[in-house]
Amino acid sequence: MSTEIVKLQHRRGLKGDIPRLSPGEFGLCTDTEQLYIGTNSKNMEVATRGQIPSTLPANGGNAATVGGYSPTSLMRTVSAPTDNNLDSFKTMNAFCVRDTGSGPLYNTPYGTLAYRSGRVVKVTNVGGTSARIMQYFEVIYPASHVSIWFRIWASDTSVSTTGTWKPWKRIVTADQFTQSLARNGWTKLPNGLIMQWGRSSYLSQANYKITFPTAFPNVVLSVTTQRVDSVPSTGTIIITSYLKESFTAHDTAGPKGDKNEFYWTALGY
């Protein structure tokens, strides 16, 4: 049995003579060396390898758009600013990674990160124009200092040199809160404020000491209480004293020795 070799050729001709192609049908322009494929609505050019840049340009470079996107609209890796100053890093839609082992870094959320201070950071710029840039600062090493910050470069004109950097703001994440969500518990906010709460039993007409679930490191700002009672009462609970570790309450209502309960909350840092 013999084998027959068949040559398969696509539609071809001068660009001006290529007709409307059927969906999936190829057409080669022999004069311009362009290749098209038919779709449901048009002849769509097929990009060749030579039309796609193999690398994106360095800071401020130019290249032809690819698929309607220019290099400034694509996120790309660039070098850290040569002056080690984040204020001068305004390359749009780009990021750099910097180890302080390579030198100091100025104008970070922490001020100046000193040379060999043991930090690796990633700085990312996102924006549509050089007059409006959102800059993100991420500490990615060590794990104990991971944090994310952002700030805005804002200019009243289209000239990037006439704007100002707004203050850094930290992005709060759930792991920045520590807590013990018990009946008598506490939570510590990222700014250092500690909120504590509880429900305790006591005897009327007597002093009762409540120990906080966790001691306040510095100072107690306030302690409030609310009696738990099934009937109205004219008495109240007085806070007679408080320390960083505890507070003492006294109930003025009810016959002496009656057992009651009350809720309490405390704030401090």
pLDDT tens-place string over residues 187-212:
999 899 999 999 998 877 888 899 99
Residue 249's domain comprises: 178-268
Higher-pLDDT residue of 37 and 6 is 37
Query: 173 to each of 146, 148, 182, 189, 190, how far by Cα in Å?
Result: 11, 9, 22, 11, 9
What's the structural domain count of the chain?
3
* 67 found inside a domain: no
> Do 237 and 156 belong together in one domain?
no
How many angstroms separate the CA atoms of 114 and 251, rounded? 56
Residue 223 · residue 264 · CB < 8 Å: yes
> Do 80 and 129 belong together in one domain?
yes
User: Environment class of residue 185 by beta-carbon count within 10 Å: exposed (0-12), middle (13-18) or buried (19+)?
Assistant: middle
Q: What is the pTM of this model?
A: 0.57
Residue 155 pLDDT class (50, 70, 90 cuts): confident
How many angstroms separate the CA atoms of 255 and 205, rounded? 7
Q: What is the pLDDT of residue 60?
A: 47
User: What is the layout of strands, in order, in the sheet containing 43-46?
Assistant: 11-13, 26-29, 35-38, 43-46
Tally the C-alpha atoms within 13 A of residue 84's C-alpha that lie toward its C-beta. 13
pLDDT score of 226 more than 50: yes
For residues 103-117, give the mean pLDDT: 97
